[in-house]
Amino acid sequence: MNDIAKWEYKEKLVTANEAVASVKSGDRIYYSEFVLFPEVLDEALAKRVNELQNVSVESVCYTRMPKIVEADPTQKHFILNDWHFGGISRALHMKSLANYIPLTYHQGPRIIRKYKNYNVAFVTVGKMDARGYFNFGISNSLVSAVIDKADKIIVEVNENIPYCLGGNQESIHISRISNIVEGNMRALPEVPVNDASKTDVAIANHIMKEIEDGSCLQLGIGGLPNVIGQLIAESDLKDIGVHTEMLVDSYVDLYTGGKVTGAKKAIDKYKMAYTFALGTNKLYEFLDNNPTCASYPVNYINDPRIIALNPKVVAVNNAMEVDLFSQVCSESAGTRQISGTGGQLDFIFGAFASKGGKGIIGISSTYKDKEGKIHSRIVPTLKPGSIVTLPRSIVQYVATEFGIVMLKGKSTVERAEALISIAHPDFRDELIKQAEEMKIWEK
């Protein structure tokens, strides 16, 4: 190891309590994203709760309950903000303890560089390499922009983080770091693979008809993407490429099964390009020092102009509701924030611009409420207060277990007819009646 880097490491190494001592009232702090939550720094900051006021803390998708929230349950001292809700922020939001920051994901780094400043960044990293670099591991995302705008950068080292190769801006040199804190070195939390339902299998079978040799995939997490991965693995498809916001376990299976080569990609050829990873140890071990994979900031991966450079991009995303005007709500249940815009708009837009590309919304036709009553996800109009994640002018394909329809270039009447044709049969007559009452068409 570089002697200068080793000396600098010793000089900058402090305890977590020493590291957070510089935080002042009114400061804005950024926490590492997803499963790279800065545990020991968060715990140390929570101890200072009664000394601080109006400290704003931001991240992307908290995966652990912050100790600062437990220490300050009425939000008198710390204000929690999240760029994309998961289960933690969703629950906190219901108690008015977390705020959502609206985001079209690829614009995140630009928003930060143009409009945001941070006093301190808490960045969870892997161990320092021989040249004095700390790797961001499984979350590149917004962090490179954050450290450009942070007055002070404090890294929390976890040696269990896989070394994820770039791409670009996947690491930070020790010379840019203010302090180093050695974390608890716990294994990374795993996100288990969801079991697929019969509905997922039916939707996946319709989507499979749109995937060709040489397609470049973007899949999310959950039962439906996993089924699509399994079906591709069992198919005759070949030379699949990967350019995706989130890398999940199903891509590992496709690669090891020989389906993913990236040979037909136009950019990042032969690479699986991504901005963050979320899954099990199988995925994390696969990523470690693997030159097949390339980690990039999200302003590269999710930029629709970059996405469109690869041919035959197939982007599959889910939704909460689709109305008869073909507006898609993917992030809220009425006024209740559930997740976020994330990269859905990025990839649906980019896939359409790709030569032979297809942006697909995969959605179950129905859902059950808490009382067990069945409701249609294809609705006359979105619930009052629902957020439109995809405007109707952007939507390309919608798939349910009853079929898949392409909506580009279709009139409002044709769109409504197409959507009703893939709604659950029990709701079709009522949807037709509602379409007539709304004057979408008259029968």
User: What tokens appear for 194 in the block?
Assistant: 């969801």
Name the pairing type of β-strands 336-337 and 332-333: antiparallel
Q: Is the dihedral of CA 347, 107, 273, 289 positive or negative?
A: negative
Q: Are 389 and 383 in contact (CB under 8 A)?
A: no
Cα–Cα distance between 343 and 213 in angstroms, integer?
Answer: 24
SS3 289: coil
Number of other CB atoms surrounding residue 185 within 10 Å: 11
Q: Any idea how long the chain is?
A: 443
Catalytic residues: 245
Tell me: cis bond preceding 340? Omega within 30 of 0 counts. no
Longest dimension (CA), the chain: 81
The Cα–Cα gap between 409 and 352 comes to 12
Contacts of 371 (CB under 8 A, 6+ apart): none
Element (DSSP H or E) covering residue 217: strand 216-219
Q: Closest by alpha carbon to 252, among 289, 200, 293, 215?
A: 293
CA–CA dist 362, 404 (Å, integer) = 9
- Give the full edge-to-edge strand order of the sheet including 313-317: 293-295, 272-277, 241-247, 216-219, 313-317, 358-362, 397-400, 403-406
Query: 226 near 194, Cβ under 8 Å?
Result: yes
Backbone angles phi, psi at 372, to 5 degrees: 90, 5
> Alpha helix (H) ranges present in 55-196?
67-71, 87-94, 108-115, 143-148
Q: Is 202 left (phi over 0), alpha (psi -120 to 50) or beta?
A: alpha
